[in-house]
Structures are given as C-alpha cells and as structure tokens.
Structure 1
C-alpha cells in the first residue's frame, strides 16, 4: 500500500487514487501488485542501491509479461501522483515540504535516472522484439519447407512401399506362397495404392492386379495338381505299405484279444465290438506318417486362395475333375468291366499290388476330405466313386478266380487274404463292402469248398485203399490216448478208458476209422481257420454253406464228391473179399455213430466261432446230419454185400457137394469127408467174416446161412429121381453132421444172453422141414403117413401131403419091395468105396481145399494191423 501522509492537524489522509487506476488495462492490477509488493519500498531512499535492486525484478517481470510500456506508464503515473501528493503536502505543511524538498529532489533525480534506464530497457526490448519477429518469420518459412520435404518423403516412402510390395508379391508367387501373395495384393489395393494413385506407375500396378490375381489362382491350382500327382500317384506304394502295416497291427492286436478272452472269438476285425475296444491311437493317418513326408501347405494354400476370392465352389469343381483324372490313371487296367473286355492279372502278386494301390488311393481320398473339412470333396463323393469302382472290380475278381484255376489250398488262401485284407481296409475307412463281400462268399462256396472236399475225399480214398482191414491194435498208451481223443465212440464201448486195464488194446474198427475221424476234425478246423479272419457277414448263409455244401456233400452219396458213395464203390469192388466187407461193416457202425457226434461238434464250434449255430436243430438242441440217412443205406448195402458174399461162398462150397449116386449098397458109419470139409470151411468162413461183426448181424448171418444150407440140401433131396434106404441113411448121417457143426458154430458166435432166449430152438427150426423129409423116408412103413392124418400132422406138420407122397414114390424099396440093406464094413472103407459123391465133386473139393488152406495159412501167419 502507499504510505500515509500527515496533515496539518496531525491526522493522516489516504492519498487519492490516480485516475489512471480507473483506466482499463489488461494487466493493471498485476503490475500494481508487482510495484507495491513491498510496503516499505518508498520509505527507502530513491537513490539507494536497495531501491534499484528491488525495482529490477519488477522490470524483468514486466518485460516477461510484455508489459514494459504499461509499467513505464504506471511509473509515470505514480510519479505524478507522488508529485501531487508532494504539492499537497507542501501546501499543508511548508516545513515538511521544505524538509522534504531535498528528498523530493533526490526522488526526482532518481526518478529521472530510472526513466532513462527504463527508456534504455524499452529500446533494448524493442530491438529484441524486432529480431524475434524476424527469426519467427524465418522459422515459419523453414517449417513450411520442412513440411513439404516431409510430405515428399512420405509420398516417396509410399511409392517405395508399393514397389516393394509388388516385388514381394512376385517373389511369393515364385516361392509358391500364393495365399500370402494374395493377401499382399489385398493390402496393396486396400491401403497403399490409393496413396500414390497420382503416379503413372501406380496406375500400371493397379491395372495389373487382376492379372496377378488370376495368375495366383491358376498357379495355386496347378501347384495343387502337381501335389496330387506326386502324392496320389507316385507315393501310392509307400502309402499302401503304411496302411497295410497298420492293418496287420490291428489284426494281431485283435487276435491276441480273442485269445485272451474267448468271449470275443465270434467277432472279427471292424465289428462293433472290436471298434469299441480299439485304441484311438491305433487309427492310421497318412499325413501324420513322417516316413511319407506329405505336407499339406499346398492344398491349404489353394483352398485359402479360392476362398479369399469367393470361388470355393469353382475350386471344388476343378479339384473333382482333377481327382477323376488321377482315378482313371490309378485304376488302370480296370477301365471297364464289360463281358467283352475284362482286365486280367497274371498272378496273385500283381493282383495284390494293384489292390494295395487302390486301397491307398481311396483311403487318401477320404483323409484329404477330412483334413480339408470337406472343402474340396465330400464323403458322399468318395462313396459314389467307390460304388462305381466296385461294379468294375467284381467281374475282374470273379474272372481271376475262374481263369486262374487254383490247384492248391495255399493259393486259394492267398487270394482270400489279398481280397479280405483289401475289404477290411476299405471297411475300416467307412466304405461300403456289401457287394464286394459276395466275392468272398463265392470264393468259399465255389472254390474253397470243392477243393477242400476233394482233398478230404482224396485222403479218405487213399486211406480206405491202403487199410489192411483188420482190427486196429495198439500197445502204447500214448497211441491209445491219441486215438481216444480223435475218435468218436460210445461211453460203454469195451475199449473205453473205464474198461481198459492193460495194454495192448484191440479196437473193433480198423485204422481207416481213425484216419476218417482225424480227417473230419481237420476238415472242420480248416474251414474255421479259413473264415476266422475276414468273414464277418451273412453268417447264416455261411453256416448253411459249411453244413450243406461241405459236410453234407462230402459225407453224402453224390458221385465223385461224397465218401458214402466212395465207400459203397469200394465195398462193391471188393464184394468177394471177406476181410474188406466184414471190416467195412464194422467201421460203418462207428461211422454212423460219429455222424451224430459230428453234427453236435459242428453246431458247437460254429456257435463259438461265428456267434450263431445251426438253426435247423431239434428240441434237444442237437443237430443231425442228413448224411446219417446215406450211411444207414450204406450200412444196409454193406450188410447185404456180406450176406451176398456169404451166400456166394456157401453156394461155392455146396456146389462142390454133388449127390449123383442115390442107390448105394454100402451104408456109411460116419459123415462123408466132403461134408466134414464143408463144415470146416463153413466154420472158417464164419469165423473170418463174423468174428468182429456186431451180435445182431452175426445172428442174422448165421440164421440166413443155416436156412440157405437147409434149403439147399432139401432141394438136393427133392431133385433126386430115385433113392434107396441106404442113400437116405447116408444122407441123414451127413445132415446130422451139418446140423451139429452149425449148432457148435452158433454157440461160438452167440452170447449167453442170446442162447438163453432160445437161439438153439430157433436154429433147429431152419432144418425142421429137411429133418422131417429125411425122417419120413426112413420110416419102415409109410401107411401111417398116407392114411393117418393125425399121425401126419403130429410128426410131419412141415411137409405137405403131396410133397411127402412125391418123396415116398421115389423110394426104390417102395417101388420094388423091401430089400435087406448091406451093412457098411468099416475095416474095408476107403476112398475107393462107393459114395454118394461123384468123382468130379471130389476133385472140385480137393482144389477148393488147397485154395482155402493157403488163404487160411496166410491169415494165421499175418500179424494184426497196428497203428
């Protein structure tokens, strides 16, 4: 604040504010505050250094605030105010005025000096202001030039960037990085080109954009085509190796699982059960196989290029056409499957190589679809192409089967492995194999089954032809145990383990039956092994084929196929061989029993290996082969052959016993030697034929033979034109010997149980008619027979009256009268004595005896057939 001035009466009066204070100025208050910030500033001497030092900051602040003129004006106002105040003080107080004059003068001098200083400062400031303005104009001009330079640099930079981007685009195209080049084109057109659109080169670049885009699109697709050529054609063999190696691993893993868990046995590879248990890591991916080194950048690049250009459908169309070109080249030589032109493969190896290549091609098709997320082709496209290809492949495979003419089971197995593995691969990648699977069914039905049947039949025929047809004898326990494991037999059989106490053991059947049982088991094993790997569908039909087209046929009576017919032909060929016929019948007993067990075995094992058994089973869950009927017929045929042979042998023997002398004069004391030989030969015949036959057939055979012999001798008696008592007595002696020997033969070949049931009584009835005829002729008087019907019915009920009269009428004594018979002299009996047998008959018996004895000796010297 301004200092107070004392008035005359001692009071103080505040100085009036200058009218300049009322004048409006921008920084008046500021300046005033700066000038009077120190209350005591004017109390000091104006000429003192302190005042100037205090004033200097105020001037500096005013210069800084660009208010120097105002400061000077203000100072002048202050001076004026102070002068007025001084004048007033002078008027009011002379003393004070006078005393202050000096001070005022000093102040005035200081003020003047200050004014000078301020003027100097003002001049200096004005000069600085002019220099500043000049420099500012120069700065502004320089800034304008700099801005133009910067703008020019920016434009040049944009031009250079456009050129660099253009060069980079061409470089990326050369490097086959088409999508990156396309992205740079989009960036160039969207961001950079419009910044330099005034330049002629930019217009040329802009005009070349469509060409560059088309070039990128075309070259990206061409690069994709080259990629396909390299990977879908040249690498197919390597791809197929990886696919098949993966298949073999899957097969091994699943086979191990089936071995460890029998529940999985019916299920094949690719079945729902196997797929549910398969590890995700087990699936093979072509593009993850480092050995193939198939990179996907090319195909992805092409997809991105076309998608960016909004031409995805165009790329899909072009890719499909290109893929079809590859397809037509890969499937060669199968380009068509017409009847006129069917592709032919020279060997199984060439077929295998072809199918491996095809599998790689179609697997790659679907894996490309998957990895590209179906941008190029869809799975329906792949499936349609596969269906089209299958229609061409099926005739080729069938033609290969037809023309290759498989001679061995190994070749057939190889074809099955080739085709089956191919099907499993295609099925594994979700291709439909229903139609192609029919090739495996045809292979099984039309090729495997006939070859297997013929191999079994060939081995069987060789077995029956090489068999010695003697009961099989084993003396080693291991051999016995093996036979028990192989052969089918009843639990109560005498050779069953529970009934065997010591070695050796003789079986009723011959070695032929053992070979047959082993062959049947091997046959079933071969079938199950054949279908164990690749046969997953149409299991009912497959079971029917196994039963009806293999077992029923090979066991049936079809000529050239069934062993039933072969056995019949063999028996017919050897119908006169008693060893063959009798042992064949015994074997047939076991063959027939085995068929029931084979039916059960087939049903059981099919159920285990395919999951379903044979449907046409009876209520007891047992399956019976139709071959049972064939073997029953064969058994009857064998039985009739035995009887036919026995009848033939007996007829041979009986034909040698000729009665041509019915009027002898010598009475024999015993049966004739030829009758004894006949009885001996008959005993040997029955022993060799019936010894191993079942009880029923032995009994039937004996009764038939007895009846045949009795009928023969009855016919001999009836055919005689005349005879005497001596002849009838000798004939009676022979017949009694035959009857006794046959009774003994019956006792040897029959069981005690049969004898207790009246077997002897039944046997006697076969000779009843003959016995009654002889007894009738030996009567001393025939009147009772002729006249006494009661006597006739009681003693000769089997002889009709007319037949009896014919016999009586032939008796010489009845015709001529009674004559005394001549007793036979035993001491003079010799071969030269008269006999009812003719000389020719004796000669025939001699020849037959020699032949029979030689055969008998051979049998005695022979050893039992051993395993």
Structure 2
C-alpha cells in the first residue's frame, strides 16, 4: 500500500508512487516484449510518472521500484520455464503419433486416386452421350416452334376471316399487318405461307369494300330511317332554346332587340343546351363504331382521300333522294307552273324537317369525324345549290295559297323561321331564306293586317253615332285615357264629376285601339326569326304598313276611306261636323303614333324611325294626308252650310219694291232664315273648335250680306218704304248674328270681346252703308261732298252709289250734264276709291289672318 499522507505531512512531501500502476504500465499488454523501450508510445505513457517523480524529488525511489519490478518478473519467468518442460515432452510424443497416422492416410489417398481415375473415364463417356441427346432435343424444340408458328399463322388467318364476318374491319386489317410483317416471315418457306401471302391483297380489298358497304348501310339505318326522330330531336332542341331565350328576355328587357342565334344570345347560352346528335344519352342511340372503323381502315391503307370521294358520291345520292320533289324541278326551263308544290303547310313543314335533318346530320358527321370525310365547304356548297331551288318553291307556296287570317301567316312564318334558325345554328348561309321571310312580312303579312285594320275601321266609322263620347264609369274613362291620344294640356277634362263628355266620338277610340293593336301585332310577328336587316324591317313597318294604312291611297289607306265617307255623307250635318272634330284628334294622333312606333321599335329592334323633324321628333308622312283631309272636311262643312243657306235664301223673296205701307217687324221669311242659321250653328258648329266656328260665322254672314247686297243692286226700282222694310230685315239678321257670336264666345268660355264682334259686323258694312245711303234725305251730300262721302260711305264706290240713288223712285237727275259732277270729283274719287279698297283689303286680310292664326294654333 502506498503511504497515506497525514495532516502533518508537509506540502513538499514526495508524491506516493503506485507500484501496481507502474507495473501495469511497464507490462500493459501482451506484446510488451515486442515493443521497444524507446518507442514513442511507451515513453509517452511513462513520461508523466517520471515527471511526477522528478517534481516530488522521488526519482531515486522510482528507479528502485523499477528495479524491484524487473527482478520480480525475472524470477517468475524462470519458474515458468522450469514448469513447461514436461509439456514439451508430451508434445513430441503427439507429433510422432501424427506422423504414423499420416503414412496410413497416404496409402488411403493412393487407393482413392485410382478409383477417381476410373470414375472420370466413365463420366466422359456419359457426357458424350448427353451431348448427343441434347442436339436431338434442340432439333425437336425447333421443330415444335416452327409448327406452333404455322398454327399461329393459320389461327390468325382464321381470326381475320372471323373479324371480317363480324364487320370488325379495322381489327382484321391490323391482324393482316401483324401476320404479314411478324408471323409470315418466320414460316415463309412453307407452301401454305405462299398461298396466305397471295391472299392478303384479296383480303384487304374485301375489307375495303365491305367496310364501305357497312358505312353506306350505317347511313341508311341512322339517317333515312331515323329522319323523323332526328327532326323531332332537332326541333325540340330549338324550342327549348327559344323558350330559354324568351325567359331571359322577360327577366332583362335590354335583351329584347336580340333574337336567337345572335351574338348576345350565343354568349349567354348554356353550352349543355347545344344539340349533340351522337350523345350517348340521346334517344337516337347512333353507334359510331362503323363510321370510325371505316375511317381507320382507309386511313391505315393511306386511302382516306378515296374514301372521301366515295362517301361524297354516296351522300349526294342520298341528298338527291331526300330533297325530292325539288329535284324534279331543277332544270333551267323551270317555271312557276312546274315548281314543286306543297298542298298544305303541314306537308311543307314535314319536308323542311326532313331537310333540316339531312343538313344538320351532315355538319354533325363532319364535326365528329374531324372533316376527314367531308369538309364544311362541301356541305356549304351543297346547301347553296339546294337553297337556290328551295327559295322559289317557298315563294311559290306563298303565291299559290290564299291567306285570309293573320294566324295562317304566323304559322307559315314559324315553319320557315324555325327551319331558318336550325340552319343558322349549323352555320349555313340563311340569306336566301331570310329574303323569303322578308317577302312574307312585306308582301303578305303587311297587306293582310292593313286589310283587317281597314275593314274594322270602315265598320267602325259606319256604325258610329257621330256624337261626342260620353262615359259614366271611372274605369271606362281611365281606359280611354290610356288608349286615346289627345293633347291633355290643351284640352283639360273635368274628371271630378261623372258622366264625362269627350270631344271625339266612339269612332276615334276604336281607331286608337286598332292602331295600338296593329303595332303590337307587328312586333309580335317579328319577335322571333327576324334577326337581320333591322333598317329594312323598320322601313316596312313604317312605310309599308303605317304610312300606307294612314295614306289616301284608294282601297288601302283610311284617309281615303274617311274622305269617301265624308263625301258620301256631305249633307249629314252630324256626321260632317263630328268627323271634322274627330279629324282634329286624328291629326294629333299621327304625331303621337310616330313617337309610339319609334319608341316600340327601339325597344324591340334597337333602331327607331329615321324620319325626324326639326324638333328631333319622329314624324310620319301621313301628317300631311290628315292635314289635307281636315281641310277637305272643313270645305265639306262650309259647302253644306253654303248649300243650305243658298236654298233658304232662294225662299226669301222681295217682289214688292214699291210698297205703300211700312212693316212693323221683319219679314217672316227673314225670321225663319235667321232661326235656321241659329239652329244650324248650334247643331253643326257646337262641337267644332272655336276657330272654325268663328270662321263659319264670317263665311256665312259674308255670304248672306253679299246676297242681300246683290238683291239690292239687282233691283230695278224701289221707293223709300221698300228700303225701310229691307233695312228692318237686315237689322234682324244683324241682331241674329250678334247673338250667335255671343253664343260662340260663351261656349269656349273666352272671346275676343268687342274686337271680334266689330270684326264680324264688318261683313255687313257695305250693305249697311248702301241702305243708309238710300235712306238719306238729301243725296247731294254724297254726290257733291267728297269728304262726307268718304267719312260715311267709304265702302261704296261713287259709280255704284249713283246707280243705287238713280233707282230710287222720284229721284231728280243731276241736270243737263250728269257727268259734270263725276268729272269734278274724278280725281278725288280715284284716290278715295284706292284708299277705300286699301282699307277694305287691309281690314279683311287682318281679320282672316287673325282667325287663320288662331285656327292653326288650335290645330297644332
């Protein structure tokens, strides 16, 4: 044990050196004796111990311990050597035994070697036999392979024939290619192989022929025999698209101008709604394997162009069979008499459905085959050649059928229009069909609705009572306000109390309702199928319908019908007066009709009327027709009044111009005449505008005044009593005139006051001055005093005054030279006559200009 340091041990005491540790270090492994003492590893292990001993001044002690360790180890080694001698002897004995055994073993090996040599010889013999047998086995296997190849070729050949029978031509062709390029070269030395080689062209030809025949049969089965189903499916799809688009337009009025197949409709259409004849879920259940098989066969053979040529020829044959009976009229000598004729609309519809099936199937087959059989150009060319033959047939159908009802034309429009939409969906040129649609609209529909409207209008004007319309129900009043056009600002109606009287008669209500219905019927007609040439459509609507129906064309326009009706009833004061009143509203309505047409067309076609006036408002040319008609109606009224007045004036006789007694009152015939005038104006002019009533008063009394003046001028001789009686009659007429004028002002609630009354009285001025002249006590003031004459008798020419005075009974001549006074006053009279006529002309012009202005303002 190393000494243990105690507490008294000084800090510089030598460190304790562990002897076991040192021993283990010196003999740290079993190769210690093979390691040189100066090896770096050994020295590195020993150096710490030496360094510690040096530091502790215990190096001598370390050396002593090392020596003791070496001494102990030498003793152990000597003891061990002495003890191992016996073991060495035992080992030598064992080695001797092994030597003996090895000799025995050598003998055994020699014997084994002999046996092995014998076995090797036998093995060589067997190996030779084995090699011979392997060669035979290889030949057998090769023969078996060849036989299997031959069997495989025969089986494939049989399979090819079987596939041909099953009409799987492309698979058969693939097997021919396989057997030709893969299998036959392996067995080409056999006789049957040569025969198979020789039969391959025949098999390929048979596949081509039968493949094409199958394609033709496929066309017959899936087209000609299914045309009805194809047509039904096409039209059902069209109706679904139409219904869907109508539903969208109801939700959004901005879509109203756009029709089916327009870019807007196509952009909003659900792609799933597009027709697909070859859809697996389709009712047609068309198997496309035969079609694709034929294409693959010819494509594999590099003869797809030949298949296209053959297919086109066959398609043309089917096309010519299907489009019958049009093919019977394709010669250049075709006339209207030998065009194909369809007796009923149903027959035409069935034919067009069949044609739609043909050309739709053509485009769908082109698309599904990626245009390998037919191109779209060929399809379009075939369509162009067909439509040039179909167009005259459709026009002939319209020409040969007498359409009496609008619904009949609507049905025709739908039949042709549906066909047009289907062709357009398949990207065919539809301009020729659209021209037929335009012809149908312009030449058949427009005249028919004009005729229907005109017949209803004529019936309306003939059945009208020609009295202002009176309504006693608020609902009826509201309906009339909605239907009829009139200037609500200029003609305010008192709606607070019922019944309400309208200025116009029932005839005008029927007219307004008819015009609105006419426009809506037109819009409904063009709502579908009319997608193009909106300008032409609007031109037809405006010029070929409304302008014509409102025109003065005989047998077409209602302006002419109204004129003829007024002319026929020109002596019926109720009809003529109410007709004139109605015409005031007719004229106003024409302006409003232009606005209505423009507004409705912009909503439903996107384009309005092009005829715009200076106020930027749409105006119909028919405005001028109704202005002329109103003037004509006015002339009829005045002609009727003039005729009746003329008849009455003929009854007023002045036979006694030299009476002896003065009358106390006006002549009874004058009273009757005045009473008639009052009745005439109250019955005829009561419903007319104030302007024409006033104008009628002027014309009537001007005519009466002129008649009485002519009576006075035509009289040969009279006395003062006759002039006094005549003056009494004229005064009665003048008083009647004043009463009528007052009544005329009270009717409208307004008047011109004294100005209008004075202007009206001027119609009798000349007559009054003539009577006053003849009633003078002394005529010298007139004949000799120009100033007096111009102041009191400015309307009477000097010569006329002398003639009137000269007829007075008991009047003395002017003396020896009656012309002297005339000569003295000639220069003055010329000037005064000029001034008088100028004043008369100015007064008359001003009077009629004023009333014309008021009349025009009322009309406008």
The residue number in structure 2 matching 1:292 is 284
1:103-502 matched pairs, under 5 angstroms: 111=107, 114=108, 119=111, 125=116, 128-129=119-120, 131-288=122-279, 289-335=281-327, 336-337=329-330, 338=332, 339-340=334-335, 341-496=338-493, 499-502=494-497
Question: Retained in 1: the 8 A contact 2:611–2:620?
Answer: no
Question: Retained in 2: the 8 A contact 1:266–1:611?
Answer: yes
Q: Residue 598 in 1 paired to residue 590 in 2?
A: no
Q: Residue 44 in 1 paired to residue 94 in 2?
A: no
| Equivalent-residue separation in structure 2 for 1:594 and 1:41 (angstroms) | 153
Within the candidate set 533, 536, 557, 2:552 is matched to 557
| Equivalent-residue separation in structure 1 for 2:806 and 2:542 (angstroms) | 69
Q: CA deviation at 1:685?
A: 0.8
The residue number in structure 1 matching 2:576 is 581
Q: CA deviation at 1:313?
A: 0.9
Q: TM-score, normalised by structure 1?
A: 0.79
Question: Retained in 1: the 8 A contact 2:611–2:619?
Answer: no
The residue number in structure 2 matching 1:733 is 728
Question: Retained in 2: the 8 A contact 1:722–1:810?
Answer: yes
Question: Retained in 1: the 8 A contact 2:705–2:764?
Answer: yes
| Equivalent-residue separation in structure 1 for 2:685 and 2:282 (angstroms) | 78
Within the candidate set 762, 770, 776, 1:765 is matched to 762
Q: CA deviation at 1:128?
A: 4.6
The residue number in structure 1 matching 2:684 is 689
- 1:791–1:40 distance in 2 versus 1, CA, 3 Å: farther
1:71-90 matched pairs, under 5 angstroms: 75=106
| Equivalent-residue separation in structure 2 for 1:348 and 1:371 (angstroms) | 34
Question: Retained in 2: the 8 A contact 1:495–1:507?
Answer: no
- 1:742–1:139 distance in 2 versus 1, CA, 3 Å: same
Within the candidate set 628, 632, 636, 1:633 is matched to 628
Question: Retained in 1: the 8 A contact 2:469–2:506?
Answer: yes
Q: CA deviation at 1:720?
A: 2.8
- 1:40–1:309 distance in 2 versus 1, CA, 3 Å: farther
- 1:708-757: CA deviation from partner (whole Å, max 9, x where unpaired): 11112222223333333333322222221111112101110125643325
Within the candidate set 786, 797, 800, 2:797 is matched to 800
Question: Retained in 2: the 8 A contact 1:178–1:220?
Answer: yes
The residue number in structure 1 matching 2:710 is 715
- 1:636-681: CA deviation from partner (whole Å, max 9, x where unpaired): 1011110000101111211222222333334321122222222112
The residue number in structure 1 matching 2:63 is none
- 1:206-235: CA deviation from partner (whole Å, max 9, x where unpaired): 111000000001110111111111222221
- 1:479-535: CA deviation from partner (whole Å, max 9, x where unpaired): 111111111111324444xx4222111000111111111111111111111111111
| Equivalent-residue separation in structure 2 for 1:383 and 1:797 (angstroms) | 91
Q: CA deviation at 1:783?
A: 4.0
- 1:385–1:43 distance in 2 versus 1, CA, 3 Å: farther
Question: Retained in 2: the 8 A contact 1:243–1:284?
Answer: yes
| Equivalent-residue separation in structure 1 for 2:565 and 2:176 (angstroms) | 93
1:839-858 matched pairs, under 5 angstroms: none
Question: Retained in 2: the 8 A contact 1:808–1:814?
Answer: yes
SS of 1:286 mapped into structure 2: coil
- 1:437–1:41 distance in 2 versus 1, CA, 3 Å: farther
1:603-614 matched pairs, under 5 angstroms: 603-614=598-609
Aligned length: 715
Question: Retained in 2: the 8 A contact 1:44–1:51?
Answer: no
| Equivalent-residue separation in structure 2 for 1:459 and 1:661 (angstroms) | 58
- 1:710–1:620 distance in 2 versus 1, CA, 3 Å: closer
Q: CA deviation at 1:353?
A: 1.2
SS of 1:346 mapped into structure 2: coil
Question: Retained in 2: the 8 A contact 1:671–1:730?
Answer: yes
The residue number in structure 1 matching 2:846 is none
Q: CA deviation at 1:616?
A: 3.3
Q: CA deviation at 1:175?
A: 0.7
Q: Give structure 2 stretches of 5+ with no counterpart.
A: 1-90, 814-860
Q: Residue 668 in 1 paired to residue 659 in 2?
A: no
Question: Retained in 1: the 8 A contact 2:553–2:560?
Answer: yes
Q: Residue 755 in 1 paired to residue 752 in 2?
A: yes
Q: CA deviation at 1:256?
A: 1.3
- 1:223–1:41 distance in 2 versus 1, CA, 3 Å: farther
- 1:541-564: CA deviation from partner (whole Å, max 9, x where unpaired): 221221111111111111111111
Tell me how large the CA RMSD over aligned residues is. Answer: 2.4
Q: Residue 525 in 1 paired to residue 517 in 2?
A: no
Q: Residue 513 in 1 paired to residue 517 in 2?
A: no
- 1:392–1:42 distance in 2 versus 1, CA, 3 Å: farther
Question: Retained in 2: the 8 A contact 1:467–1:512?
Answer: yes
- 1:172-203: CA deviation from partner (whole Å, max 9, x where unpaired): 11111000000011111111112222222222
- 1:566-619: CA deviation from partner (whole Å, max 9, x where unpaired): 111111111111111111111111111111111111112211111122233245
Q: CA deviation at 1:130?
A: 5.5
Q: CA deviation at 1:127?
A: 5.8
Which has the larger displacement, 647-656 or 778-787?
Answer: 778-787
Within the candidate set 530, 534, 538, 2:529 is matched to 534
- 1:603–1:728 distance in 2 versus 1, CA, 3 Å: same
Question: Retained in 2: the 8 A contact 1:369–1:375?
Answer: yes
- 1:218-258: CA deviation from partner (whole Å, max 9, x where unpaired): 11011111111122222122111111111111111111111
The residue number in structure 1 matching 2:79 is none
The residue number in structure 2 matching 1:821 is none
| Equivalent-residue separation in structure 1 for 2:96 and 2:583 (angstroms) | 162
Q: CA deviation at 1:792?
A: 3.2
| Equivalent-residue separation in structure 1 for 2:113 and 2:323 (angstroms) | 107
| Equivalent-residue separation in structure 2 for 1:47 and 1:733 (angstroms) | 203
| Equivalent-residue separation in structure 2 for 1:137 and 1:518 (angstroms) | 124
Q: CA deviation at 1:370?
A: 1.1
| Equivalent-residue separation in structure 1 for 2:779 and 2:145 (angstroms) | 164
SS of 1:767 mapped into structure 2: helix
Q: CA deviation at 1:790?
A: 3.7
Q: CA deviation at 1:355?
A: 1.2
Question: Retained in 2: the 8 A contact 1:571–1:638?
Answer: yes
Which has the larger displacement, 430-439 or 315-324?
Answer: 430-439
| Equivalent-residue separation in structure 2 for 1:705 and 1:684 (angstroms) | 13
SS of 2:211 mapped into structure 1: helix
Which has the larger displacement, 787-796 or 475-484?
Answer: 787-796
The residue number in structure 2 matching 1:85 is none
Q: CA deviation at 1:384?
A: 1.5
- 1:503–1:51 distance in 2 versus 1, CA, 3 Å: farther
| Equivalent-residue separation in structure 2 for 1:618 and 1:774 (angstroms) | 54
